[in-house]
Amino acid sequence: MKKLLCASAVALAVGGFASAANAAPVQWTLTNVQFVDGGRATGSYVFDASTGTISGVNISTTGTEGTPAATFVTTCNGTNCSAVPPDPEQYIVFVPADNSDLTGKQALYLDLSSAMTDAGGTIPINPPQGEPEGQPEAVALRTKAFTGVCQDIDCEALPGNLRMVASGQVVGRAVAAPASTTAVPMMAPWSLALLSLLLAPLAWLHKRRQQR
């Protein structure tokens, strides 16, 4: 009886603490990303698979004839622009810091060959490829990576002056939390209540033995 209760208590404790062991965010670095004109894109961003959010964006592209260099520090989130992808773990739209009016500004669209997860790893960026005849331009662009110039305030219209990504990948590695800010795991309330119920009989048995 005592061994069983102890084992159950340990299992509950582990279950209670497990809620604190969330997946760590992953930093994804653009690697060997090259445009068809020879220009390059470099930098990184952090993706949290548990919340589906992107942060820590710091991406730059080199310029070429007719297209200036650009820097991107955030993503489309529905308030700063309309190009919010339904699957942010695979299709991402990066925009510059000043995104109150995106007219005439560049946006970087990245379409990955598979979804990002908390496991990290290497994911190729989809290269330009032919599309079936008659396919709408908006659908065709969905499977490509490129920079484009926004045509309106929230980049809702199809971008112009497209600059396609020819090759490259993103490489993900877990972001290590600083030792000084490591959170102390807290037991979930339901686990604490059940653990108390399991330990109560042990306390009663111990008291009875002492009285004898």
- Give the tens place of pLDDT for each residue, 88-98: 899 999 999 99
Using pLDDT thresholds of 50, 70 and 90, give the confidence band for residue 79.
confident
The three-state secondary structure class of 79 is coil
Class of residue 116 by CB neighbours under 10 A (exposed 0-12, middle 13-18, buried 19+) = buried
Q: Which amino acid is at 120?
A: G
Q: Is the pLDDT of residue 157 over 90?
A: no
Most confident of 13-22, 67-76, 77-86: 67-76
Using pLDDT thresholds of 50, 70 and 90, give the confidence band for residue 190.
very low
Segment 27-32 mean pLDDT: 98
Q: Is the pLDDT of residue 20 over 70?
A: no
Q: Is the pLDDT of residue 4 over 80?
A: no
| CB neighbourhood size of 95 (10 A) | 25
Q: Is the pLDDT of residue 188 over 90?
A: no
pLDDT reported for residue 53:
92
Most confident of 113-122, 172-181, 203-212: 113-122
Strands 40-48 and 160-174: unpaired
pLDDT reported for residue 18:
42
Segment 38-59 mean pLDDT: 96
pLDDT reported for residue 200:
60
Average pLDDT value over all residues in the chain: 77
pLDDT reported for residue 143:
64
Instruction: List all residues 6 or more positions away from 121 whose beta carbon is below 8 Å from its beta carbon.
Output: 171, 172
Segment 196-203 mean pLDDT: 57
Q: Which residue has the higher pLDDT, 51 or 133?
A: 51
Structure tokens at 184: 């102390």
